[in-house]
Amino acid sequence: MTLRLPSSHLCWLLVLLITVVLVKPTLATDACQGIAAVVSNSSSVYYPGSLPYIGDVSHWASSSSQNATCSFEPGTAEDLGMALNIIAALRQPFAIKGGGHTTNPGFSSTTGVQISLSRFSDVVYDPEAQTATVGAGLTWDTVYTALEPHGVNVVGARGPGVGVAGLSLGGGYSYLTNQYGLTVDTIEAYELVMSNGTVKIVTKEDEDLFFGLRGGFNNFGIVTKFTLRTFPQTQVWGGFITYSPENVGLLNQATVNFAANTSDPKAALMITYDYFLSRTSLGPSALVFYNAPTPPAGIFDEFLGIPSLVTNVSTMSFPALIKLSMANATYGSRAIFDTISVLNYSVPFLNAVVNETVFWGSDSSLGAQFVSYVIEPFLPSLYNHSSIPSAFPPSRCDGFTPLKIYYSWANETSDSAMHTAIRESTRNLRQLSGTSEAPLYPNYAIYDTPLEMIYGANLPRLRSLQHCVDPENIMGLTGGFKF
Ligand SMILES: Cc1cc2nc3c(=O)[nH]c(=O)nc-3n(C[C@H](O)[C@H](O)[C@H](O)COP(=O)(O)OP(=O)(O)OC[C@H]3O[C@@H](n4cnc5c(N)ncnc54)[C@H](O)[C@@H]3O)c2cc1C
Ligand SMILES: *[C@@H]1O[C@H](CO)[C@@H](O)[C@H](O)[C@H]1NC(C)=O
Ligand SMILES: *[C@@H]1O[C@H](CO)[C@@H](O)[C@H](O)[C@H]1NC(C)=O
Ligand SMILES: *[C@@H]1O[C@H](CO)[C@@H](O)[C@H](O)[C@H]1NC(C)=O
Ligand SMILES: *[C@@H]1O[C@H](CO)[C@@H](O)[C@H](O)[C@H]1NC(C)=O
Ligand SMILES: *[C@@H]1O[C@H](CO)[C@@H](O)[C@H](O)[C@H]1NC(C)=O
Ligand SMILES: *[C@@H]1O[C@H](CO)[C@@H](O)[C@H](O)[C@H]1NC(C)=O
Ligand SMILES: *[C@@H]1O[C@H](CO)[C@@H](O)[C@H](O)[C@H]1NC(C)=O
Ligand SMILES: *[C@@H]1O[C@H](CO)[C@@H](O)[C@H](O)[C@H]1NC(C)=O
Ligand SMILES: *[C@@H]1O[C@H](CO)[C@@H](O)[C@H](O)[C@H]1NC(C)=O
Ligand SMILES: *[C@@H]1O[C@H](CO)[C@@H](O)[C@H](O)[C@H]1NC(C)=O
């Protein structure tokens, strides 16, 4: 499918260009007005003060929001292509937002043109192909809920509110990853608006772009739809167990045993060590998951046997389990993530993670409202569900797993102290993990992580692909990890 720019729009673009180039310096406002003038009535441009604008620029972490000159909600891929043509001609900064859950400042925000994909919101299930084509403006919980009546599901985020787009374009770890792989391993096709405005359906036949989109975010254009493989979905068993700090030793031993002994791909586990400065104590918890209404005997017995504060575990629908996530507790705070990758878990290592949690969480001079360290053990075979190469992970030989570090705070004046602290803690744990060479997950890695540490040996191929499909580096006008 190829876009042809109607000639009336081309004329308009020419007039606009001549006006702004000859008469006055180019401003983002010119791009906003130019976009509003060429797009169809399916799309809209909004300005500060309007309600849609406020939604378009807002993010899960307030430190990821900026006041854009205008926001643009494309209603069709063709309109988005025309908008990119104008942005390119005027070389104005812009941002692309899916679910707005990145914690990296400027990755999906701008002072220029904020593009919000919220109007790409359809879920179309194809029972024959066993796929679902979903809009890039959706969040995963909405997709799960839409597919539930069909008895099928897709491989996506473990919490509510997370965008389909950013998670899919960076990798995607799910409760279903042990069974089916990363989200990127389940994508059959992308509808991509390229930087020159052309709309293209990218499948595995298009080897290079397909490789690049599997982990390469916005470097190759803007994705408007994803076609995902679907899998049968029954009710699931799972939920939260919270423990008092005295029992963290038992929890750590249970976690090490689980990681060493559990080979059932339907089982998943997430251990979180929280520290709220206001509560002045460590809050350890386990999220247990089994992809069936009842787990086989034994798998989670150790976690259920440790004395707990709250055990909220039962059989429920998949979307209901996703809603149990506590991740929205810090919605609207300032926040940053960083990460290390881990191959194996030992009790001394988990004790060191607990020590980091308490050390930084209780440092009142630092003033983090909340710090959180999340252990995500997966099976060593987690990367063996795809034989097609992907931008991320750059290597599928070792079953490294992501450890997420997450700080949140209230005041902008603390941003740089928090970034410094999270880097130091990350460095401490990386030394102890013994796996400093493993690739880092780009959806958790802090904004200035060297690209080599994420994409490894794939970097030269990604760079040359970027030059080839976007020779004028138009996608360089937007934020993110740039090839
Ligand atoms: C509460 C919470 C829970 C999370 N849970 C998980 C989890 O279970 N598993 C997991 O793997 N990760 C998880 N993450 C991390 C998550 O994958 C990233 O934050 C991801 O980037 C979010 O996608 P988004 O669309 O919401 O982000 P956005 O901030 O909208 O976008 C992130 C990046 O992707 C780019 N982008 C967005 N849309 C497009 C598009 N259509 N075309 C091209 N580029 C685009 C943006 O420009 C930006 O650089 C979680 C994060 C949070 C905050
Ligand atoms: C949008 O434009 C189309 C044709 O260009 C027209 O048929 C339709 O009525 C318009 N819709 C609205 C809501 O204005
Ligand atoms: C955006 O503008 C609003 C209203 O003027 C202001 O309150 C807010 O602080 C600004 N946000 C940023 C990130 O600059
Ligand atoms: C998170 O909280 C905010 C603010 O209360 C709310 O607007 C948003 O809908 C919540 N998101 C989810 C996924 O519950
Ligand atoms: C599980 O793994 C641990 C090693 O971490 C081992 O000591 C233990 O005996 C194994 N078996 C069970 C049932 O936990
Ligand atoms: C479990 O979670 C649900 C939903 O949040 C809540 O209504 C219920 O009270 C919780 N149960 C326990 C035992 O905490
Ligand atoms: C992983 O295993 C290796 C070899 O057994 C060991 O040296 C290393 O300390 C372990 N790492 C962790 C984090 O336990
Ligand atoms: C706990 O972490 C801090 C900060 O990294 C470090 O200085 C201290 O030595 C650690 N303590 C233990 C017992 O490991
Ligand atoms: C996964 O695949 C890689 C590369 O093909 C291989 O080296 C590794 O042994 C496999 N791991 C498992 C657990 O099957
Ligand atoms: C943020 O910190 C600065 C400097 O410490 C202080 O002046 C300001 O009042 C704080 N703002 C808020 C909202 O707490
Ligand atoms: C845009 O770029 C693609 C790939 O480089 C090319 O196939 C297409 O013809 C270009 N479109 C236009 C309108 O130049």
Q: The tokens of 77 are what?
A: 């891929």
- Ligand nearest to the Cα of 259, by number: 5
- Going by alpha carbons, the residue nearest to atom 13 of ligand 8 is 355
Atom of ligand 9 nearest to the CA of 379: 13
Q: Choose the residue to mutate in 10, 13, 198 for probing ligand 11, maximizing ligand atoms within 8 Å of C-beta.
A: 198
Question: Given this model, what pLDDT does residue 325 score?
Answer: 79
Any ligand 4 atom below 6 A from CB of 293: no
Residue type, 298: G
**Phi, psi of 225, deg, nearest 5:** -145, 150
Cα first-last separation, the chain: 27
DSSP-derived pairing of the beta strands 70-73 and 113-116: parallel
Cis peptide before 319, with omega less than 30 degrees from 0?
no
How close is the Cα of 435 to the center of ligand 7, in Å? 8
Return d(Cα 37, Cα 56) in angstroms, integer: 20
Any ligand 3 atom below 6 A from CB of 183: no
In order along its 483 residues, the chain shows pLDDT tens digits of: 444 444 555 555 555 555 555 556 669 999 999 999 999 999 999 999 999 999 999 999 999 999 999 999 999 999 999 999 999 999 999 999 999 999 999 999 999 999 999 999 999 999 999 999 999 999 999 999 999 999 999 999 999 999 999 999 999 999 999 999 999 999 999 999 999 999 999 999 999 999 999 999 999 999 999 999 999 999 999 999 999 999 999 999 999 999 999 999 999 999 999 999 888 899 999 999 999 999 999 999 999 999 999 999 999 999 999 998 776 778 899 999 999 999 999 999 999 999 999 999 999 899 899 999 999 999 999 999 999 999 999 999 999 999 999 999 999 999 999 999 999 999 999 999 988 789 999 999 999 999 999 999 999 999 999 999 999 999 999 999 999
Q: Choose the residue to mutate in 118, 140, 328, 333 for probing ligand 4, maximizing ligand atoms within 8 Å of C-beta.
A: 328
Any ligand 3 atom below 6 A from CB of 54: no
Please tell me whether residue 408 adopts helix, strand or coil conformation. strand
Return d(Cα 463, Cα 458) in angstroms, integer: 9
How close is the Cα of 312 to the center of ligand 6, in Å? 6
> Of the candidates 197, 151, 156, which has an alpha carbon nearest to the alpha carbon of residue 180?
156
- Going by alpha carbons, the residue nearest to atom 9 of ligand 3 is 67
DSSP-derived pairing of the beta strands 401-409 and 231-232: unpaired
Any ligand 9 atom below 6 A from CB of 263: no
- Helix then strand count (H, E) for the chain reads 15, 18
- Ligand nearest to the Cα of 301, by number: 5
Any ligand 1 atom below 6 A from CB of 172: yes
CATH of 123-232+457-469, one of 3.40.50.300, 3.40.50.1980, 3.30.465.10, 3.10.20.580: 3.30.465.10
* Exposure of 231 in the CB half-sphere (CA atoms within 13 A): 18
Residues 6+ apart with CB under 8 A from 18: none
Contact 442, 173 (CB under 8 A): no
Task: Write down the domain spans for the chain.
Answer: 7-116, 123-232+457-469, 236-448
CATH topology for 236-448 is Vanillyl-alcohol Oxidase; Chain A, domain 3 (3.40.462)
Instruction: Find residue 190's DSSP bridge partners.
Output: 202, 226
Q: Is the pTM of this model over 0.85?
A: yes
- Going by alpha carbons, the residue nearest to atom 1 of ligand 9 is 384
CATH topology for 7-116 is 3.30.465
- Going by alpha carbons, the residue nearest to atom 13 of ligand 9 is 381
DSSP secondary structure string for all residues of 416-428: HHHHHHHHHHHHH
Any ligand 9 atom below 6 A from CB of 389: no
Return d(Cα 366, Cα 360) in angstroms, integer: 8
Chain CA centroid to CA 148, Å? 22
**Phi, psi of 174, deg, nearest 5:** -135, 165
> Of the candidates 254, 65, 97, which has an alpha carbon nearest to the alpha carbon of residue 169?
97
Return d(Cα 32, Cα 209) in angstroms, integer: 29
Cα angle, residue 346 at apex, residues 341 and 295 outer, rounded to 5°? 85
How close is the Cα of 194 to the center of ligand 11, in Å? 8
DSSP secondary structure string for all residues of 291-313: SSSSPPTTTTHHHHHS--SEEEE
Return d(Cα 222, Cα 215) in angstroms, integer: 13
Atom of ligand 3 nearest to the CA of 65: 13
Question: Given this model, what pLDDT does residue 277 score?
Answer: 85
- Going by alpha carbons, the residue nearest to atom 5 of ligand 11 is 469
Contact 126, 189 (CB under 8 A): no
Return d(Cα 203, Cα 189) in angstroms, integer: 5
Question: Given this model, what pLDDT does residue 436 score?
Answer: 76
DSSP secondary structure string for all residues of 164-219: HHHHHHH----TTHHHH--GGGGEEEEEEE-TTS-EEEE-TTSHHHHHHHTT-GGG
Structural element, H or E, at residue 15: helix 7-23
Q: Indicate if 123-232+457-469 has the same CATH topology as 7-116.
A: yes
Question: Given this model, what pLDDT does residue 2 score?
Answer: 45
Instruction: Find residue 240's DSSP bridge partners.
Output: 287, 312
Contact 196, 215 (CB under 8 A): no
> What separation in angstroms does the CA of 243 have from each of 351, 408, 415?
15, 22, 31
Contact 360, 414 (CB under 8 A): no
Question: Given this model, what pLDDT does residue 112 score?
Answer: 98
Q: Choose the residue to mutate in 5, 196, 473 for probing ligand 11, maximizing ligand atoms within 8 Å of C-beta.
A: 196
- Going by alpha carbons, the residue nearest to atom 9 of ligand 10 is 411
Question: Given this model, what pLDDT does residue 3 score?
Answer: 43
Torsion angle in degrees (nearest 10) through CA of 71, 75, 76, 78: -40
- Going by alpha carbons, the residue nearest to atom 11 of ligand 6 is 312
Return d(Cα 285, Cα 276) in angstroms, integer: 13
Torsion angle in degrees (nearest 10) through CA of 152, 153, 154, 156: 180
Sheet strands (E) in 64-186: 70-73, 94-97, 113-116, 123-126, 131-135, 152-153
Question: Given this model, what pLDDT does residue 279 score?
Answer: 83
Q: The tokens of 35 are what?
A: 């976009």
How close is the Cα of 474 to the center of ligand 11, in Å? 13
Any ligand 9 atom below 6 A from CB of 181: no
